[in-house]
Structure 1
Amino acid sequence: MPKDGGIGASTKRREDVRFLTGNGRYTDDINLRGQAHAYFLRSQVAHGKINGIDTAAAEAMDGVIRVFTAKDFEGVGGMPCGWQITDKHGQPMQEPKHPILAEGKVRHVGDPVAVVIAETLEQARDAAEAIELDIEDLPAVVDMKAALAEGAPKVHDDLTSNLCYDWGFVEENKAAVEDAFAKAAHVTTLELVNQRLVANPMEPRVAVGDYDPWNDNSTLYTTSQNPHVIRLLMGAFVLGIPEHKLRVVAPDVGGGFGTKIFHYAEEAFCTFAARQLKRPVKWTSSRSEAFISDAHGRDHVTKIQLALDDANNFTAIRTETYANMGAYLSTFAPSVPTWLHGTLMAGNYRTPLIYVNVKAVFTNTVPVDAYRGAGRPEATFQLERVIDKAARELGVDPVELRRQNFIKADQFPYATPVAVEYDTGNYDATMDKMLEISDYAGFAARAEESKKRGKLRGFGIAHYIEACGIAPSNLVGQLGARAGLYESATVRVNATGSISIYTGSHSHGQGHETTFAQVVAEMIGIDAGQVEINHGDTANTPMGMGTYGSRSLAVGGSALVKATNKVINKAKKIAAHLLEASEADIELADGKFTVAGTDKSVDWAGVTLAAYVPHNYPLESMEPGLEETAFYDPSNFTYPSGAYGCEVEVDPETGEVEILAFTAADDFGNVVNPMIVEGQVHGGIAQGIGQALLERCVYDEDGQLVSGSYMDYAMPRADDLPNYTVDHSCVTPCTHNPLGVKGCGEAGAIGSPPAVINAVIDALQRGGHSHVTHIDMPASPSRVWAAMNAQ
């Protein structure tokens, strides 16, 4: 059994005490003396030429301090893109400028045109209504294929077309893939949509800019998943503020799901305006504003083909995807449909040949970027849907078709044809576990019981693999990343033995303050309550890349292990001196340093006190103090995997889908806190079910966002979700990080959408609707009913 508070213990999240008692400190809780308020006037048309902006009436209104437009940002950089993609012809992507405020044209509904700064938010909002905009409507492009047609209106006039890049991967496989399809005994083809989503974290985005004219220091308080990255991008590439003069603070953050990774114009604006006005400037997004200003997710249209030989072995996969970038390139947008998607197209299978083509397209819509899973849900959905369709066409069991083509446990490490190497896994074990705990064997009887009640029952299966902790820096640099992807930690041991940790990772729901403390407590053998975790403030944490892509424990935790080991090594030297023994003979266990084979010992606090009160200390060989910093750059991704089973009932009269049971059997490697892992999986499954059955971001042909509020955008509620059965007992530890962990935060959102849709199709097929082979997400009642009743 794990020690109390150590690795493996289901310790309650310590941060929840302040959250549940209303004592969290979020960015909107920060109100500075002399603070002014910003209100963004945003375009109400998707595409238009700005002929004029008359701000005179607004500037004369009560409380108005200043009105900003694009002319106030002459000489200021645009919002940077953090990843460059090179296309299949060796050419760099088209990369348009992304101004803080619209210059010359507006390019999507919500594009900011002007900002009013006033004493109160109400005054700023009222003044914004007095601004007169002369915007000449231009034809908008929303459909990606139409955007690439000859003569289509261009989103950016200075680009050659609306094509950002045409990416082929692996290009040298293309001819062999074509040959494999020509020789295939069977080819399954599926066209599908991975619809656009709005992330909807509980806390909307907020930015508070502050400026101290006495020392020329700027501070930005912001709802960010990676404050150091925001400081680097905003300071170096947008506003030209030296990093030592710029502090970025991300306090408690109420969820992100990827949408708070990116550097947004509002952050740069508030920082800039505070410097201009020499007083704090605050902006808080409304929920309706978030729908048209936060980066959206997904939005892929794909054709996937699977080739099989006469023994039903997978021989090749080829895909063609149109990926929507929206009107501008968000911070990491180009990497999502390419390196975070194409490299996962092997899935859990031994497919020898794969070719992926992605056309990234500019449209008059909100920019699209990483959303929980970021590329891996898109890859998994394609694979698991086309495999299910192939099984039906071949008349074979979808479980056995997967098993036959799985990478087997004795084949690891396994190099895929899409340039990644999986270090460990056991896909048969997770499939077995899912089938066992879902009572797959008893499904037929349950289906009969549903039939008696006039319902159609289906069971859907999906197996996923994802890549977490994107790395290493030297590789991603070759792939176009404009930042390193390491992580950092400082371990500061206090004189009395308590420990202050400063991490470059950032927590916005993951439980770092609990799990990171568990890791350090386990290594030293002290109570986790003696360990404090600090994060989110660039003024006191080492340079880090933040939290996304399930990298916190695998990368940030590994940096923490490195720094703690440095501390332990120095502490052993001090202990050896105090005990008059050889350092090689010193052992640390349960918070006590002991000379091996003796009862001579000194406790942790005794050593730490000696480090800071060096009356008996090896001063000639080391300096006082006990504090170490480490940076960790992974040698590879980590590869969590799992088998998901979903059981549904479909009402043939209405098309309504009810999820009766959902089972997740995951391999996350070693688990630090099982309770937190279970919570992460629950949340991910909820988002995946939301995509599968409810959520869809819809634009009309003029670029107006039809689903711009919760009246029109349906997110899952408690009564839409079943009780989950979650298991993570199938463990194959990661081989290349010191904790053996893999990542768990996005798995649920990756594996659940295909499991749900496969279950719906299975129910319809079993109910006699053999013509229904696919339904695009969300599988709403109207879509399911229409599919059943199609002629």
Structure 2
Amino acid sequence: MNVTLPSAVSSGGIGARVRRKEDLRFLSGRGQYTDDLVRPNQLHSWILRSPHAHARINSIDTAAAMAMPGVVAIYTARDIEAAGLGGVPCGWQVTGKGGKVMAEPAHPVLASGKVRHVGDPVAFIVAETRAQARDAAEAVEVGYTSLPALPDLRAATAPGAPSLHDEAPDNICFDWEIGDKAATDAAFARAHKVVRFETTNNRLVPNAMEPRAAIGDYDPNSGEHTLFTTSQNPHVIRLLMGAFVLKVPEHKLRVVAPDVGGGFGSKIYHYAEEALVTWAAAQLKRPVRWTCERSESFLSDAHGRDHVTTAELALDSDGRFLGLRVETLANMGAYLSTFAPAVPTYLSATLLAGVYTTPAIHGQVKAVFTSTVPVDAYRGAGRPETTYLLERLVDVAAREMGMDRLEIRRRNFIQPDQFPYQTPVALQYDSGDYEATLRQALEAADYAGFEARRAEAKGRGMLRGIGVSTYLEACGIAPSKLVGQLGARAGLYEVANIRVHPTGSVTVFTGTHSHGQGHETSFAQLVAEQLGVPIDMVEIVHGDTGKIPFGMGTYGSRSLAVGGSAMVRAMDKIIAKGKKIAAHLMEASVEDIEFADGRFRVAGTDRSKAFAEISMAAYVPHDYPIEELEPGLEETAFYDPKNFTYPGGCHICEVEIDPETGGVEVVKFTACDDVGRVINPMIVEGQIQGGVAQGIGQALIENTVYDGEGQLLTASFNDYAMPRAATVPDFTVLTSTTLCTHNPLGVKGCGEVGAIGSPPAVMNAVVDALRDYGVRHVEMPATPLKIWSIIHGGGDALPQAAE
């Protein structure tokens, strides 16, 4: 493993390579996940799911099932409706062309009247044991009338296609656009060359190590509901479930997300199972638990990606970009998941400029309902789709213009002196140096020596290719006022409560949530840096709405940029109060007090007080400015960012293809990423490695396949390929830093960059390896069968352009 990252600058503070504090309990099996919790007198549940992709429910007979041993209750849509429960809400509203608001059909907790995808929940069975609940589910008799399935985007939008929802008779959720169509048309009219490109961003199933689980509990004495769940944002779950589904006030609903074993976006959303166990526990006055089986998660967890896009790029005779047109069909699945409408629009189309100075851009997105599992944000959420489109399109344009693929990028890069840079699609970038990341990556990858490696591989009968991706993404979705205007139904600020204890140890209550990112370490490093407290004296608390102020959770690489900034503000308040206490104790003016390295000093003197002395004085106020200050040392701060952050970088991939088998091997991968200030290099390295592994998985092996009847053919690990150690090579990971200009830490985010920059780098390398076969494009995933078919005649590839 070759790694070049900033060296430690202080013991335990910002920039230090601190080993993750949380890893001891995880690696030793002492983590506490939702399924590890055992509630007294608990019941178990099983969900009967639809075997049909689209069907009318004629009848549900539960009599035989209710008579089976151990069965306590069976609930159907009739019970849910009688109780007055609402449907699962969508958290983002999109307004399309002409001010037309998106179609927003009801998303029932249990299917009512019709089922709309294989896996749609039909009945909720509660029993003394899980096995009893599962057996009873098999005895529930459901009468269905099959209806035409609509698993395919194009088929669902074809004239005369049957409707999945009455509210969307043409199956279109919304038809949305961004950019200046007139200016873009004018740019194309004067173009020297127009390059057209079409691609599908393949559907993925997020497979976290820990499947989803939920336990509902109810205290009849207090009337308080408690939900334990595998969630990335418990406060949002409490808001959505309490206000819209169960209609329970917040003070009577507590949501706890303990250790979470990976999420990648799939655990952001409010799911029906969470509402079911919470409601059933109150009905039965006993805890009710549900744990998803892996095969079930393929049918119930929100999927990712699934865009079909056509793009046209207009260029002048020097290869400079003049205009870009993009039309996308985006799959929503059968229902609208929490953030689904935002993914192809505000998280994707707003980044169509990428790292380039394209002066005119027009994008159009049609969101489509299909009889498939709902689709929502998955690691990168819209940015991987746009980056893949742009970086493949730029390579195709270079080839058709007869230009070097590096030169065409450099000729169109936004330059450092152009920041802040206003794009034609709403966003304004604050900082970046795309030439620097490209140059650093090229050197580390030994790009100049590639042709010699290609020749050597050819001598062994192998096809070797190299691919480059220069990308940009947007993180830390913000600000609340702006996203509210764009359709978000929640604020996107973050909160931190800093509690300094009498002896100087610190507890941080944060609204973010960790599911593998290492928050307990990196957040503690922020405290160590700013307050001068040893890192082992810092505790990070998250994931419990009963303990922390209202926060928005973790997704979109927002934890440090937004949550960390809230921590900085809260610690600023701690220091400001500490200065007043120190000034009183040392009989000095507050203006003369300085704070550094964990000590309050009177400027220009040797008089000082340690941080712990000040905290003790705050809690034992024998000598204390009680007239002006309350006792205690605890502060809360909220941070609502002014803009997105914009990480970017360059990924370079080398592959070898065995023409006899079509097998593609990634033999070398170099990533140089600008993630802003690096808090912990080891954590940054791990995040990038994980993201690259997922990106390679999408490019080479992962794919979700439905047949014409809407049956999921890739519904287990037997058929859905996941990246393994042999799939990925050793990585070379580097950082090249420009600071974010609008948050106090200068951080940009690193959790998603690997999954964003890597797929086009891999596929550009695959196409480069196949250059002698006249291949213009290969769709993801580049499976051995697909590549073998291309090499030996026919296959899933576009022919060489005619010009």
| Pair in the same fold by TM > 0.5 | yes
Task: Tell me by how many angstroms 1:624 deviates.
Answer: 0.4
Amino acid at match of 1:159: A
Following superposition of structure 1 onto structure 2, how do residues 64-463 of structure 1 map, counting pairs within 5 Å?
A: 64-74=71-81, 75-170=84-179, 173-463=180-470
Alpha carbons 2:17, 2:682 under 8 Å: kept: yes
The yes-or-no answer on 1:505 pairing with 2:505 is: no
Q: Tell me, which stretches of 5 or more residues in structure 1 are unaligned? A: none
Task: Tell me by how many angstroms 1:128 deviates.
Answer: 0.6
Counterpart position of 2:755: 749
Deviation per CA, 1:438-472, whole angstroms, max 9, x where unpaired?
00011011111001001111110001100000000
**Secondary structure at 1:77's aligned position in 2?**
coil
Pairing partner for 1:786 from 784, 789, 793: 789
Deviation per CA, 1:499-543, whole angstroms, max 9, x where unpaired?
110000000001110000100110011211111000000001110
In the aligned structure 1, how far is the partner of 2:92 from the partner of 2:436? 37
Counterpart position of 1:541: 548
Amino acid at match of 2:364: N
Deviation per CA, 1:642-689, whole angstroms, max 9, x where unpaired?
000000111122211111100000111100000000000000000000
Please say which of residues 147-156 and 775-784 is displaced more in the overlay: 147-156
Task: Tell me by how many angstroms 1:494 deviates.
Answer: 0.4
Q: Give TM-score, length-normalised by structure 2.
A: 0.97
Alpha carbons 1:687, 1:716 under 8 Å: kept: yes
Pairing partner for 2:502 from 492, 495, 502: 495
Alpha carbons 1:293, 1:366 under 8 Å: kept: yes
Counterpart position of 1:775: 778
Pairing partner for 1:520 from 505, 518, 527: 527
The yes-or-no answer on 1:699 pairing with 2:711 is: no
The yes-or-no answer on 1:613 pairing with 2:647 is: no
In the aligned structure 1, how far is the partner of 2:608 from the partner of 2:148? 79
Counterpart position of 1:734: 740
In the aligned structure 1, how far is the partner of 2:157 from the partner of 2:465? 39
Pairing partner for 1:61 from 49, 52, 68: 68
Task: Tell me by how many angstroms 1:150 deviates.
Answer: 2.1
In the aligned structure 2, how far is the partner of 1:519 from the partner of 1:432? 31
Alpha carbons 2:45, 2:127 under 8 Å: kept: yes
Amino acid at match of 2:789: A
Alpha carbons 2:176, 2:364 under 8 Å: kept: yes
In the aligned structure 1, how far is the partner of 2:281 from the partner of 2:691? 38
In the aligned structure 1, how far is the partner of 2:630 from the partner of 2:167? 60
In the aligned structure 1, how far is the partner of 2:59 from the partner of 2:471? 52
Amino acid at match of 2:151: V
Task: Tell me by how many angstroms 1:183 deviates.
Answer: 1.7
Counterpart position of 1:722: 729
Amino acid at match of 1:145: R
Alpha carbons 1:775, 1:787 under 8 Å: kept: no
RMSD (Å), alpha carbons: 0.7
Amino acid at match of 1:674: P
**Secondary structure at 1:297's aligned position in 2?**
coil
Task: Tell me by how many angstroms 1:552 deviates.
Answer: 0.2
Counterpart position of 1:760: 766
Task: Tell me by how many angstroms 1:90 deviates.
Answer: 0.9
Amino acid at match of 2:168: L
Deviation per CA, 1:314-371, whole angstroms, max 9, x where unpaired?
0001111100000000000000000000111000000000111111000000000000
Alpha carbons 2:213, 2:292 under 8 Å: kept: yes
Alpha carbons 1:197, 1:298 under 8 Å: kept: yes
**Secondary structure at 1:89's aligned position in 2?**
helix
Task: Tell me by how many angstroms 1:157 deviates.
Answer: 2.8
Task: Tell me by how many angstroms 1:788 deviates.
Answer: 2.6
In the aligned structure 1, how far is the partner of 2:281 from the partner of 2:324? 53
Pairing partner for 2:716 from 693, 709, 719: 709
In the aligned structure 2, how far is the partner of 1:146 from the partner of 1:124? 38
**Secondary structure at 1:488's aligned position in 2?**
strand
Task: Tell me by how many angstroms 1:782 deviates.
Answer: 1.1
In the aligned structure 2, how far is the partner of 1:111 from the partner of 1:524? 51
Counterpart position of 2:801: none
Following superposition of structure 1 onto structure 2, how do residues 566-585 of structure 1 map, counting pairs within 5 Å?
A: 566-585=573-592
In the aligned structure 2, how far is the partner of 1:600 from the partner of 1:516? 31
In the aligned structure 2, how far is the partner of 1:13 from the partner of 1:295? 30
Amino acid at match of 1:217: E
Would the alpha carbon gap of residues 274 and 631 (structure 1) be closer, same or farther in structure 2, given more than 3 Å must change?
A: same
Task: Tell me by how many angstroms 1:180 deviates.
Answer: 1.4
Q: Give TM-score, length-normalised by structure 1.
A: 0.99
Please say which of residues 581-590 and 416-425 is displaced more in the overlay: 581-590
Alignment size in residue pairs: 785
Amino acid at match of 1:169: I
Deviation per CA, 1:195-215, whole angstroms, max 9, x where unpaired?
100000000000000000001
Alpha carbons 1:342, 1:356 under 8 Å: kept: yes
In the aligned structure 2, how far is the partner of 1:137 from the partner of 1:720? 41
Amino acid at match of 1:722: P
In the aligned structure 2, how far is the partner of 1:137 from the partner of 1:558? 53
Counterpart position of 2:5: none
Task: Tell me by how many angstroms 1:311 deviates.
Answer: 1.2
In the aligned structure 1, how far is the partner of 2:790 from the partner of 2:472? 30
Q: Tell me, which stretches of 5 or more residues in structure 2 are unaligned? A: 1-7, 795-803
Task: Tell me by how many angstroms 1:159 deviates.
Answer: 3.1
Pairing partner for 1:24 from 15, 31, 38: 31
**Secondary structure at 1:366's aligned position in 2?**
coil
Task: Tell me by how many angstroms 1:158 deviates.
Answer: 4.0
Amino acid at match of 1:62: P
In the aligned structure 1, how far is the partner of 2:166 from the partner of 2:733? 51
**Secondary structure at 2:305's aligned position in 1?**
strand
Task: Tell me by how many angstroms 1:591 deviates.
Answer: 1.2
Amino acid at match of 2:718: M
Alpha carbons 2:188, 2:323 under 8 Å: kept: yes
Alpha carbons 2:698, 2:759 under 8 Å: kept: yes
The yes-or-no answer on 1:647 pairing with 2:654 is: yes
In the aligned structure 1, how far is the partner of 2:589 from the partner of 2:525? 30
Task: Tell me by how many angstroms 1:161 deviates.
Answer: 2.2
In the aligned structure 2, how far is the partner of 1:158 from the partner of 1:104? 15
**Secondary structure at 1:773's aligned position in 2?**
strand
Task: Tell me by how many angstroms 1:388 deviates.
Answer: 0.2
